[in-house]
Chains A and B, each alone.
Chain A
Amino acid sequence: MAIIDYRQKKFLVIDDQPMARESLRAIAQTAGAFAVDFAPGYQEAIFKIRNNTPDIILCDYMLGGGRSGQQLLEELRRFNLLPDETIFMMVTGEQSYEQVVAAVELVPDDYIIKPFSPDKLILRLDRVAAKKQFFAAFYREKRKQEYASALAILASIKDSEAGRAYRFESLRQEAEVHLVSGDAEKAETAYRNILERYEFPWARAGVAKSLHRQNRLTEAREEIDKVVAGTPHYFDAADLKANICMAQGEHAEAQKVLDEVAKKTPRNYLRKRLLAEAAELNGDIATAQAAMADVVANDNMPGAVSAEDQLTLARTHVGAGDMISAEKVLLLMRESEVMNLDLARQASFSALLAVASPDKGKPKFSGLRPALLASPLPTISRVDVLRAALTVDDRELADTQARQIMSGDDAKRVFGVVRKLYALQGREPDFREMQRQVALQRIHHDESTE
């Protein structure tokens, strides 16, 4: 009856309860499975998946230790540990899991509610396999980042007879490919096509994200406010709202939104990073410090804590005036690691160290000066350089960074932070004057291009 030969497939059963684990194995074996491996929890599951990728994962939603199967799934996708060919089936006793699936962006291939028979499991697995087969060629191109050919494949299959059963999935995939390939306008159109058929919260959030990418912030905010109000358990939407608020310079609202959802998902460290960012922009350095310290100490997937995270933690310490902690974090980074950073991160590293520990940091910071004056840098690095330049009274370097920041897309986002840095040096009037000049230049530019 099965369209797959389950005897040939490697199963992995993830459940923290021994009895339930045995039951899942018994059901899988009755369905024909021969090779069934176990993982009693989160870390073991990641270890096993990394070392010997299973074909089919049966994962209980409740994993103990404050972890859920949903978090595991998100982590696996975040670290690219889950090939498209692997079937991830969530197993749950809760009817309410459907609420999660209806709202989140990263969904399992399917979920099944306990209790269920071997036949039911086979029916569901066959169905997932058929869907994966339908999208196989598309997934291959998408993974290779060949977006044009991925879209061409999608266009050719989505109106086929077999494609009628996957119409929404096709539209969603189309929208997502437009987003990752940088065409936010087409993504917006694709999401609006979905909304014409049905008001899915994820599609409305997709519109908001597309508008955000187009820097149409007021419209993006209106859309995402609707989603967050209508589906308060849709945490990804809360993250998106926070990002939009930050771009609008509404840092207090961003932090408020993230504070609420971070409490409900205490072990989601990507969200903690976002909270730290919002808190820092909002001037709540203590919260930013605590959130980043939590990330660096507890996000324990190998490679999860990046140089970027160390720099962010150091930045929050500097912001709080705790130079000893900042220095400690920076000097814990290995020399070889620092050497291999790109210019933007080297700039941040040397700037933060120059502020935290002038003796150790100034020489490297001065050495980079010509590059910092001449090179394009991301806003976050510019703010670090600006802070260090103001501290060592290098006006030319500081003012160059400020002008670049104020004329860029992130001006609203970091306006408050930059003004405060100038104010600390008693140079707020200078900052006002620069702001005026940038505004005049912009008006002039707009007039000449009209």
Chain B
Amino acid sequence: MHRLLDVLASGVHDTKNQLFIAESEIAALEAKHGLDLSEARYAIELASSRLSRTLVAYHLLRKDATLAVVPAVIDDLCAEVLLDQKKHLAHAGIELEVACAVRDEWPLDRDLITDVLNNAVQNAGRHARSKVCLKAWNDDTTLFFRIEDDGAGFAESQAGITRGTGLIVAERIISLHQRGGRHGSLHLANGGELGGGFFEMHLP
């Protein structure tokens, strides 16, 4: 079974290397000719993160996913999401606002949580009319991230908000985070401050 995983992982690895070559060629062209090809680069990075996410989802489904928890500076993490998404959203006429009130380091899986945030911002961007907002704050025991938009909100059925694969993966990643017996949790609702849906994660 592990051999299959090795084959998949090495395929993903090689593909990402190729994508990196493509992105660097584009970046060099941009610099040389004063172009803005950021949407092409965004598409490349998106393809690559989808590949990584697929591997993560595979681990999660096999229940052998382990986190790599490191102390992370939350302000930096938010700055990175802003850098990854702002320009792309601006192309679609949507403003991304980031407000981080966390000053302390927080132990979490930096890569996975960044990916969850990026994914949530992308989703919000698809539904937003003009604005997406990412907020981070904390109290003594919990770190909060909230992403909301001014769109129509999550699709709801009688059972509540419908969760696609992306949300299920996000929820698993969040709940794998634990500290002193407390687990992370994901909260989805409609009718946030901006009027649309909101995605909130609580990390211990």
Contacts and interface: CB of A to CB of B under 8 A. Distances in A.
Contacts of A169: 71, 105
Q: Give the bracket for the number of chain A residues in contact with chain B.
A: 35 or more
Contacts of A200: 69, 107
B125 to A, nearest CB: 18
Nearest to B74: A165
Nearest to A118: B27
Nearest to B76: A127
A113 interface: yes
Interface string A168-209: 110000000000000000000000000001111000000000
Interface in B8-62: 9, 12-14, 16-17, 19-25, 27-28, 30-31, 41, 44-45, 48, 52, 55-56
B45 A165 contact: no
B142 interface: no
A165 B103 contact: yes
Contacts of A24: 24
Contact of A123 (B55, B68, B80, B103): B80
B75 interface: yes
Given A26-B25, A27-B24, A99 B16 contact: no
Contact of A94 (B9, B41, B45): B9
Contacts of A95: 52, 55-56, 111
Contact of A99 (B56, B68, B84): B68
Nearest to B38: A117
Contact of B103 (A29, A94, A99, A161): A161
B103 A164 contact: yes
Contacts of B109: 98
Tell me the dominant secondary structure on chain B's binding face: helix
A115 B110 contact: no
B79 interface: yes
B131 to A, nearest CB: 23
Contacts of A161: 103
B80 A165 contact: no
B17 A26 contact: no
A127 B83 CA distance: 14
Given A94-B9, A120-B80, A168-B71, A26 B27 contact: yes
Nearest to B32: A30
B179 interface: yes
Interface string A116-138: 11111001000100000000000
Nearest to A60: B17
Most buried by A among B30, B67, B104, B105: B105
A118 B70 CA distance: 24
Interface string B106-127: 0101110000000000000000
B9 A98 contact: no
Contacts of B21: 19-20, 22-23
B105 A93 contact: no
Given A117-B45, A198-B69, A165 B20 contact: no
A300 interface: no
A93 B183 CA distance: 29
B107 A168 contact: yes
A119 B38 CA distance: 11
Given A98-B110, A117-B41, A167 B105 contact: yes
Contacts of B162: none
A291 to B, nearest CB: 28
A59 to B, nearest CB: 15
Contacts of B68: 98-99, 101-103
Interface in A90-118: 93-96, 98-99, 101-103, 113-118
Contacts of B70: 98, 101-102
Contacts of B79: 123
B27 A27 contact: yes
A102 B72 CA distance: 11
Nearest to A114: B20
B98 interface: no
Contacts of A119: 83
A17 interface: yes
Nearest to A171: B71
B73 interface: yes
A415 interface: no
Interface in B132-171: none
Nearest to B178: A199
B94 to A, nearest CB: 19
A139 interface: no
Given A22-B21, A115-B23, A115-B48, 9 more contacts: A29-B31, A95-B56, A98-B110, A117-B23, A118-B27, A165-B103, A165-B105, A169-B71, A200-B69
30 contacts: A22-B21, A23-B20, A23-B23, A23-B24, A26-B25, A26-B28, A27-B27, A30-B30, A93-B20, A95-B52, A95-B55, A98-B110, A103-B68, A113-B111, A115-B24, A115-B48, A116-B23, A117-B45, A119-B83, A120-B80, A123-B76, A123-B79, A123-B83, A127-B73, A165-B103, A165-B105, A167-B71, A167-B104, A169-B71, A197-B107
Interface of B: 9, 12-14, 16-17, 19-25, 27-28, 30-31, 41, 44-45, 48, 52, 55-56, 66-71, 73, 75-76, 79-80, 83-84, 103-105, 107, 109-111, 179
User: Which 10 pairs across A and B sit closest by C-beta, in order of nearness?
Assistant: A23-B24, A102-B68, A115-B20, A168-B71, A98-B68, A114-B20, A93-B16, A26-B28, A198-B107, A26-B24
